[in-house]
A and B are shown apart, each in its own frame.
Chain A
Amino acid sequence: MVVLLSRLPATECIKFCHRVVDGLCGREPPRRSEHSTTWSPEEWLQLLDSLSAFYRRAVGSDSSEDEVLGGLADVGSSHAEAVLSVLRARREEIHHALLDRTNSISSAVLQDFDWQLKLSLSSDKISSLHTPLLSLSLDVREDAALRSVTMEMNREELNTLISSLEAANKVVLQLK
C-alpha cells in the first residue's frame, strides 16, 4: 500500500514521511485535511497504517538497507530513496518509541503525574491550621483510554506513599 505514496512529489514525500514518523513517536500525526485531494479516506488510512507498520518493522527487526529497499520495490526509486533517508535520519527515535511501547506492556501505565502543594491556613473550626497538603494527580492509560486519579494527602500519608515507592524501586534495582 506504500505505492500510494507515489502520488506525492519526492520533496513532499520526505516531509510527509517525517510527519508519519512523528505520529509514530507520540507527536502529532499528519492531518487528513492537508491531503484530502490526494487520497480518498480509505486510501489515507491504508497508507498511514502501512507506512507506520513499515517503519516499525524496519527498525524493530533491525533490517539492513537492502532489505528495506527490497520491501519498497513497487514504489518509484526516488520515493524509495526518500522513505529510506527518513528511516536513516529517524532510526534512533523510532527505536526509542518502540522501546517505550514495549515498556508499557502492562494493562495500566502511568502516563503523567502532577502535584500541587497547598498550605491550608485555616479551616471552619480552627483559625490557624498551617497544614501542608499535597494533591497528587496520576494520569493512567488503560487500554488506550486516559483515566485521571487524584488524591490528597497530608504529610504522614505522603511519607507512607514515598516509602512504599522507594521499596518498589529497590525491588526493581535488585532485578537489574
Chain B
Amino acid sequence: MEEVDKILIHALKQVGTEVSEETGSVRQFSSELIVEAVVRCVRVIDPGLGGALPTSLPPGMSARFRVGMSLAQACQDIGYKGEIGYQTFLYSNEPEIRSLLMFLVEKLPRESAEASDQPQGKSAVLQRAIAAAIRAQLSVPWLPPHCRLPLHSQTQSPGALHSFHVQPLSLAHCSPGKKPLKEVKDYHRDILPPVTAQPSHHASVVASILEQHTAELSAAQEWDSEWNSQGLLSRLKPQEYLSRKLTRLRKRIEEQLRSAALPSPESASGGPRPNGDLSELLLAFRGSAPSDHILTKGSHFTHTQKFTFTTTEPSTSVPFAHQSDSDVQLRRQEEQLSLQEQQLCSEVDQLTADMKHMTVTHAQVLDELKQRELGNSEKEEKMQVKKKTIDLLPDSDDNLQKLKALVEASAKRVVHLACQWEKHRAPLIDEHRRLKEICSRQDLESSQKLSEIKSVHDKIRVSTEEAKRKEETYKQLVTELENLPQDASRSAYTQRILEIVSNIKKQKEEITKILSDTKDLQKEINSLTGKLDRTFAVTDELVFKDAKKDESVRKSYKYLAALHENCNQLIQTIEYTGTILREIRDLEEQIETENGSKTVANLERILSDYKAIRQENSALAAKVREG
C-alpha cells in the first residue's frame, strides 16, 4: 500500500496540492488536505466543474457540510462509481479515500505521456520551437539602442540583417590531372588574399562563399546526371563526349545566329561569307556591338566602315583648309566639289553595278565553257571508237575471227577469275561473319553492363535518400528526447512494478501449492471415509450373522452401531468447529476494518459537529428572534 500512496502523493503534488514532506501515506491525510487534493484533481480533469469549488474547508459547520455535498456530486459527475457522500470528506476513512484518489489520479489527463508515446510530426516540433523562441523574445524588454547588449542586438536592432550580395571569389583549386604553372603557384602563395578578405564588404563573405559552393555543387550534379543518363549510353570517354557536345552546340548556335543575322541589312552588307565558321560570325557580331568596342578586332564590317569614313574625310577637310579665303570662292568651290562628288558617286554606283553585272556574266560564261569542254571530250571519244572500227573494216573475216578468239579468251579469263574470287571470298565471308558475331556479343555484353551500372547508380541514389531520411528522423527523435521532461522516478516505478510482479508470481506458486495440499487432503479424507464405510458394512454383516446365534455377539453388534454413530457425531462436531472458526476469523477481519475506519473517532467528531450545528442553529434562531 505504501508504494501506491507514494505514487498518489507524487501525482497530487504535480497537480498542485501542497502535501508536506512528512505525509507518507493516505492515512495521514487530514480532511482539509483531502478536500484540497480532490478539488485540484477535479479542476484539472474538468475546469468548468472544479472552478466553482473552494480548495479549503470553510469554518462554519453547515458550510462544510455543503462543500462536502457538492464535492461528492462533482466526483459522481466525473464518473466515480463507488459510495460517496459528504461523510467521505468530513469523516474520512482510509480505503474509501484511497480508492477515490486512485480514481481521480487515473482520470487525470496525461497529454504529456500520450504525446511522448508517438513521435510528433515535424511541424509540431517546429511550431513549438517557434512559440518558444517568440515567447523568449517577448519576455526580453525593449531597450533604447544605446543600452543594448549583444544579447539584444540579435533581435532588436535592424542592422543585423544584410541583404544577399554575391561577389566572385578566386579559390586555389587543385585539379588532379594538371600540374599548376609556376606563376599560378606564386600568385596563390604570395598575392591572392584569403577568402574572407576578397569581397569588398565583410557582410557578403558568407553569401559569396555559399553562392560559389552552390554553383560548383550544382554544376557537378548536373554533369553527373547528364553523364549517367546520356553520356554512358554514348559509350565515349568523358572528354570525347564533351568535345562532341561542344561541336554540336557550336553548329547549333551558328545556325541560329546566321538565320537571325540574315534579314538585318547591316550584317548583310558587312557580310559574313556563307562558308565562314562560327568565330568569324562572332567577330562580325562583336564589330556591330558598340559597347564592346574594346573586344573589337578588325572585322569585315568595321573595315568597310573605316573605308567609307576615310574616303569622305578629304572631301570634308579640303574646304576647312581654305577657311581664310573669301566666301564666294568657298561657295563656288563647295558647289564644284559637291558636283564632283555627286558625279563621282554616280560613277562609283554605275561602276559597282557594272562590276556586279560583269561578275555574273563571267560566272555564266565560265559555266558555259565547262559544259562545252565536257561535250567536246565526249565527242572525241566517240570519234576514236568510230575511227578504230573503220580501220578494221577491210579485213573483216580475219578480224572477226580474231575478235571472237579474243572474246572467248576474255570469257575464259573471267570464269577463271570468278573461280579464284570465289576461293578467296569464302574464307573472307566466314571471317566477316565471325567478326560480326563477336561484335554483336560484345555489344550485348556492354549493354548489359551499362544497364547494370545504371541500376547501381539508381540504388546508390535511393540508398542515399533513405539514409538522409533516416538521419533526419533520428535528429528529430533526438530533439524530442531532449525536450521530454526528465522523469527520474520512471525507472524506479518500473523496477518496483517488476518486483511486485515477481512477488505476485511467488504468491501464486504458494497458492497453487496450498491448493494441491488441500486437494491431497480431500482425497485422503474421501478414501478414508470410503474405507470406513466398506469396513463398517463388512463388519456389520459379519457381526449381524453371528448375532442371531450368540447373545454376546448381539451385544457387541449394538456397541458397534453405537460406536459408528458416535464417531459420525464427532466428525460433524469437528466440521462445525471448523466453520465457526472461519466465521470468527471473518468477524475479526470485519472488526479490524471497522477499527481502521476510525469509527469511534468519527462518531465522536460527528457528535461534536452535531452539537456545533445545533449551537449555530440556536444562535441563528436567537438572531431571528432578536431581529
Interface stretch (choices B159-167, B408-416, B616-624): B159-167
Interface stretch (choices B178-186, B394-402, B482-490, B594-602): B178-186
Q: How far is the CB of B469 from chain A (nearest CB, A)?
A: 21
A17 closest partner in B (C-beta): B191
A15 closest partner in B (C-beta): B191
A61 contacts B297, C-beta separation under 8 Å? yes
A93 contacts B170, C-beta separation under 8 Å? yes
A176 within 8 A of B: yes
A residues in contact with B183, CB < 8 Å: 85-86, 88-89
B181 contacts A88, C-beta separation under 8 Å? yes
A residues in contact with B130, CB < 8 Å: 119, 121
Q: How far is the CB of A60 from chain B (nearest CB, A)?
A: 6
A175 contacts B184, C-beta separation under 8 Å? no
Give residues of chain B (570-610) contacting chain A, Cβ–Cβ below 8 Å.
none
Given A28-B200, A57-B295, A61-B297, A90 and B187 touching (CB < 8 A)?
yes
B294 contacts A27, C-beta separation under 8 Å? no
Q: How far is the CB of A171 from chain B (nearest CB, A)?
A: 14
Which among A18, A25, A89 has the greatest number of chain B C-beta atoms within 10 A? A89
Contact of A112 among B166, B252, B297 (CB under 8 A): B166
Given A89-B186, A119-B130, A114 and B164 touching (CB < 8 A)?
yes
B563 within 8 A of A: no
Q: How far is the CB of A151 from chain B (nearest CB, A)?
A: 15
B162 closest partner in A (C-beta): A114
Given A28-B200, A89-B187, A176-B249, A113 and B181 touching (CB < 8 A)?
no
B295 contacts A60, C-beta separation under 8 Å? yes
| Bound-complex Cα distance A89 to B200 (A) | 22
A residues in contact with B199, CB < 8 Å: 27
| Bound-complex Cα distance A121 to B138 (A) | 15
| Bound-complex Cα distance A92 to B184 (A) | 10
Give residues of chain A (135-169) contacting chain B, Cβ–Cβ below 8 Å.
137, 139
A residues in contact with B184, CB < 8 Å: 88-89
B198 within 8 A of A: yes
B residues in contact with A93, CB < 8 Å: 170
| Bound-complex Cα distance A121 to B127 (A) | 10
Q: How far is the CB of B138 from chain A (nearest CB, A)?
A: 12
B residues in contact with A60, CB < 8 Å: 295
Given A25-B168, A25-B170, A18 and B191 touching (CB < 8 A)?
yes
A56 contacts B295, C-beta separation under 8 Å? yes
| Bound-complex Cα distance A175 to B251 (A) | 12
A16-36 interface code vs B (CB 8 A; 1 in, 0 out): 001000100111100000000
A residues in contact with B297, CB < 8 Å: 61
A residues in contact with B200, CB < 8 Å: 27-28
| Bound-complex Cα distance A119 to B128 (A) | 13
B187 contacts A18, C-beta separation under 8 Å? yes
B292-307 interface code vs A (CB 8 A; 1 in, 0 out): 0011010000000000
| Bound-complex Cα distance A56 to B295 (A) | 7
A144 closest partner in B (C-beta): B291
B residues in contact with A139, CB < 8 Å: 165
A residues in contact with B198, CB < 8 Å: 27
Q: Enumerate chain A interface residues (CB-CB to B < 8 A).
A: 14-15, 18, 22, 25-28, 53, 56-57, 60-61, 85-86, 88-90, 93, 97, 111-114, 119, 121, 130, 137, 139, 175-176
Q: Enumerate chain B interface residues (CB-CB to A < 8 A).
A: 127, 130, 134, 163-168, 170, 181, 183-184, 186-187, 191, 198-200, 207, 211, 245, 249, 252, 294-295, 297
Supplied contacts A14-B191, A27-B168, 6 more A-B pairs, CB within 8 Å: A18-B191, A27-B170, A27-B198, A86-B187, A97-B168, A114-B164
A-B contact pairs, 23 of them (CB 8 A): A14-B191, A22-B170, A27-B167, A27-B170, A28-B200, A57-B294, A60-B295, A85-B183, A85-B186, A86-B187, A89-B181, A89-B186, A89-B187, A90-B187, A93-B170, A111-B166, A112-B165, A112-B166, A112-B207, A112-B211, A137-B163, A137-B164, A175-B252
